[in-house]
């Protein structure tokens, strides 16, 4: 029996990892520009961090990896980034030092889903959270950030879909209106949605089974149930987006069925060849109850997250290369065993001088070493043979022009540095 990777997981092979690194570079650069700082939380948490009383999303109920460790502690592999960040924010009392904490995270999440293209059981997300204060400028900053990030990747047709659920009172009024709307049609809904009427009717709007039902399509929208405070808050968010010239669209039916959202909810999409409705690249919203639920003070936050596999698939579909595969500046070919120690010294010096380099360790023929060198995509070949070495020289070959020059052994790094501009 061969041992394969776990179902729903994938390997990033050495010739693909540069894409991940390039994506992570842009994420880090953009978020640093907006003054967000990275937080790294563990991949496992005590189960109650995710399995909270009010967090009854299908994802958390049906898809988490829950297990007991050898000390009989009930643990869960994180299925998303926010809850762990908030747990840490509360545990480390970050609210005592700053009125507003701006955090980002990058890392793997785990969900027991049916694997398909772009959907895995271990997948990467990056996300941001601005925790501690509630004001509309912060909501718009986060949306601007998300928009800016997707644009920086080079994707076209970037658009924000935005909606509001309003404050607690508006949201409650809306939930009641929904309940009222669905109650007489309970038997037209799927089994799960029949229960959702009592627990959280908002979820019905996101139901994959019922989404095309007439009664779902005709459901009331949150905008019709906003009180004055909530309307003013939303207007302020939109004003800021207008001021910066972000292209957005109000999506009255967007609710992102999570229990903890209030005020702003949004999704960000782009035009991606062949993606159709799968073009949502990330989403998020404001939350009020989460910090308190995880044992902290009554402070709100806003966050969003993007799936990184989907971003990479989008870039591939749009033929966007963030950074080309790493190429070596220099690659040493050793034509005589006796020169191996000299080669090691040259290699150490090349690397010390900041030149990305390697050597051939194979003892094979010149022809075979050359073949390998060209596969490595090296810019310059340093050829070490006895005849030249006796004269204190090495051959350096430019693999593009195929021009070869003899260079004094003491000047190798200097020569290549000048050529590659390092
Ligand atoms: P969610 O946390 O469910 O709101 O998802 C946010 C983003 O994470 C989605 O838009 C997807 O791009 C990505 N995502 C969610 N689940 C998976 C998965 N199982 N595999 C890959 N990406 C995922």
Mean pLDDT by 10 residues, the chain (422 residues): 90 94 96 96 96 72 93 97 96 94 97 92 98 93 96 94 94 91 89 83 83 87 94 97 94 80 94 88 93 95 96 95 84 93 96 94 88 88 95 96 96 96 88
Distance (Å, rounded) from C-alpha 44 to C-alpha 268?
28
Domain range summary for the chain, segments of one domain joined by +:
17-167+227-317, 330-420
Residue whose pair of structure tokens reads 């019905």 in the numeric block: 204
Which are the contacts of 55, defined by CB distance < 8 A and separation ≥ 6? 83, 258, 259, 260
Beta strand pairing call for 393-398 and 156-164:
unpaired
Comparing CA positions, the residue from 64, 236, 26, 25 lying closest to residue 145 is 26
Cα 204 from Cα 219, distance rounded (Å): 10
Which of 64, 123, 281 best tests ligand 1's pocket when mutated (most atoms within 8 Å of CB)?
Answer: 123
- Out of 310, 311, 313, 315, mutate this one to test ligand 1's pocket (max ligand atoms within 8 Å of CB): namely 310
Tokens 């035009």, located at residue: 271
Query: Could you tell me the distance, in angstroms and rounded to a whole number, from the CA of residue 245 to the centre of ligand 1?
Result: 28
Atom index in ligand 1 nearest the CA of residue 125 equals 8
Dihedral of CA 23/5/283/213: which sign?
positive
Distances (CA, A) of 351 to 346, 357, 412, 414: 9, 6, 12, 12
pTM: 0.89
Which CATH code for domain 330-420? 3.40.50.800
Mutation pick for ligand 1 pocket among 23, 60, 110, 125 (CB with most ligand atoms within 8 Å)? 125
* HEC assignment per residue over the chain: CCCCCCCCCCCCCCCCHHHHHHHHHHHHHHHHHCCCEECCCCCEEEHHHCCCCCCCCHHHHHCCEEEECCCCCEEEECCCCHHHHHHHHHHCCHHHCCCCEEEEEEEEEECCCCCECCECCEEEEEEEEEECCCCHHHHHHHHHHHHHHHHHCCCEEEEEEEEECCCHHHHHHHHHHHHHHHHHHHHHCCHHHHHHHHHCHHHHHHCCCCCCCHHHHCCCCHHHHCCHHHHHHHHHHHHHHHHHCCCEEECCCCCCCCCCEEEEEEEEEEECCCCHHHHEEEEEEEECCHHHHCCCCCCCEEEEEEEHHHHHHHHHHCCCCCCCCCCCCEEEEECCHHHHHHHHHHHHHHHHCCCCEEECCCCCCHHHHHHHHHHCCCCEEEEECHHHHHCCEEEEEECCCCCEEEEEHHHHHHHHHHHHCC
CATH class for the domain made up of 17-167+227-317? alpha beta
Atom of ligand 1 nearest to the CA of 284: 4
Query: Which residue, by CA, sits nearest to atom 12 of ligand 1?
Result: 307
d(CA 284, CA 144): 13
pLDDT of residue 1: 62
List, in sequence order, every residue forming a beta bridge with 38; answer none if it has no partner.
Answer: 104
Give the binding-site residues of ligand 1, using a 6 Å CB cut-off: 80, 111, 113, 118-120, 123, 125, 280, 282-283, 305, 307, 309-310
């Amino acid at each position: 029996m061969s041992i394969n990777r776990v179902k729903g997981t994938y390997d990033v092979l050495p010739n693909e990892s540069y894409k991940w690194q390039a994506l992570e570079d842009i994420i880090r650069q953009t978020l640093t520009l907006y003054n967000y700082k990275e937080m790294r939380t563990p991949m496992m948490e005590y189960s109650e961090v995710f399995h909270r009383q009010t967090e009854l999303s299908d994802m958390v109920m049906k898809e988490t990896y829950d297990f007991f460790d050898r000390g009989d502690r009930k643990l869960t592999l994180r299925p998303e980034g926010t809850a762990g960040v908030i747990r840490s924010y509360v545990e480390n009392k970050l609210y005592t030092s700053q009125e507003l904490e701006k955090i980002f995270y990058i890392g793997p999440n785990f969900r027991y889903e049916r694997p398909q293209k772009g959907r895995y059981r271990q997948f990467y997300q990056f996300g941001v959270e601005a925790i501690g204060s509630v004001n509309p400028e912060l909501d718009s900053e986060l949306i601007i950030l998300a928009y800016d990030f997707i644009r920086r990747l080079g994707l076209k047709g970037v658009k924000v879909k935005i909606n509001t659920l309003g404050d607690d009172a508006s949201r409650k009024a809306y939930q009641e209106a929904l309940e009222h709307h669905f109650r007489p049609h309970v038997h037209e809904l799927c089994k799960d949605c029949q229960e959702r009427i009592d627990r959280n009717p908002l979820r019905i709007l996101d139901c994959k089974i019922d989404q095309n039902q007439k009664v779902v399509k005709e459901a009331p929208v949150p905008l019709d149930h906003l009180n004055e405070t909530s309307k003013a808050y939303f207007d302020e968010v939109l004003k800021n987006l207008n001021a910066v010239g972000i292209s957005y669209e109000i999506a009255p039916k967007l609710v992102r069925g999570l229990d903890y959202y209030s005020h702003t909810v949004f999704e960000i999409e782009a035009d991606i060849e062949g993606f159709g409705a799968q073009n949502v690249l990330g989403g998020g919203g404001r939350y009020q109850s989460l910090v308190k639920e995880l044992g902290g003070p009554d402070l709100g936050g806003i966050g969003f997250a993007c799936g990184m596999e989907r971003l990479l698939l989008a870039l591939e579909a749009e033929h966007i290369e963030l950074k080309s595969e790493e190429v070596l500046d220099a690659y040493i070919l050793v034509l005589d065993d006796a020169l191996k120690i000299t080669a090691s010294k040259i290699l150490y010096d090349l690397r010390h001088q900041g030149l990305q380099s390697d050597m051939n360790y194979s003892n094979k023929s010149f022809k075979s070493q050359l073949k390998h060198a060209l596969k490595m995509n090296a810019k310059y070949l340093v050829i070490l043979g006895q005849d030249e070495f006796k004269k204190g020289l090495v051959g350096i070959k430019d693999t593009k022009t195929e021009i070869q020059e003899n260079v004094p052994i003491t000047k190798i790094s200097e020569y290549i540095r000048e050529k590659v501009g390092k």
